Chains A and B, each alone.
Chain A
């Protein structure tokens, strides 16, 4: 079966004082090839832990990750990752950053150059290819990160709050870019975000997770990503369903946050 299967994943961190934290409990999920899923949840719900397990940076306590019929046991080039910020290699030019994956694989220069040129065109950084990455703005740097990830042609792209550090305007532009790349490349994408709006716009499927223990709370299938491709994201936001879903999810997360706060208050008393 082609696609990503997250099968009954649990993650338990044992603390030195003998207690433990159940970061994830029995999380199961199937992603078909080419699906775009956003993951939302209050802090501490284990969404980053889940992403790190899929990426292979963490080893789950139980359960399996299966990508294209192969078990995931560690990090690999077929699962690309885009981080919030600061994951670019500042000692390399934009071009070198983008060609990092192909270079590591030992791809011939001519071929990797072709890929890099194409991707720089796609993300609109053709004029900046010989600049150092620290000379670019935050939004441009994230475009480099996207291009770098795509250059490796991964099956799945894992995004850990990739737009979290950007200002509102840049962020909106970048959301459009992510949608465009998703549609053009047909990649499976999992995107973690803190922003409900972003999750609505960038999720064919939207996963709301709940904390303590980290688990899937509710899943939505949404039309907005499809609507947003090539269109105006602000138009999508005017859609009545968009607003009602947003309110619903906001209320849900708000409740969870309240519950946590209430619990901590109770513990203090």
Chain B
């Protein structure tokens, strides 16, 4: 009994004192023939003290805390889902519970293969929640030599965000989303004013803080014109 109270007390204190934030990294290397590799990284290492505290509890702010097993299972689910998609191969995942970094990587034959990954999920979500998210995320047009990252902001994001308790909203204040797309061809121009083109003209970098994304102030949609 004593032990339990003490542990909970200490954890609560630690959680109150430590900040939390996370970064999501989306990297795509595209070959000229339309094939390529994708790597998605969830990096929560900046809040590892807080996470380690949370992980020892059953629930926080009324949310159930997933166990390591739950997390591994969710990643395994994602992996299984990927395996079912045609054109996706060489799936690799890493989990690091010490630093709370999780990655999943794969090769794809065509950009449309990547789209297929999310298409079903997004369509289901749109139907269920009556949202209007586009079900196409990535397109590569060989004739025009354009690579497109699509994203349509939906007001439900803002609504669900404001439904969160202020404690929970705090999580997003220091979070960020980064996308890096690398090409063999040179990049001519990009449509998103927040995106940066590398000096060697072969990569496009876009980092957006989570709050701007949630509130719809900034967008991750980008059309990249490659030279023919």
Q: Do A and B come from one complex?
A: no
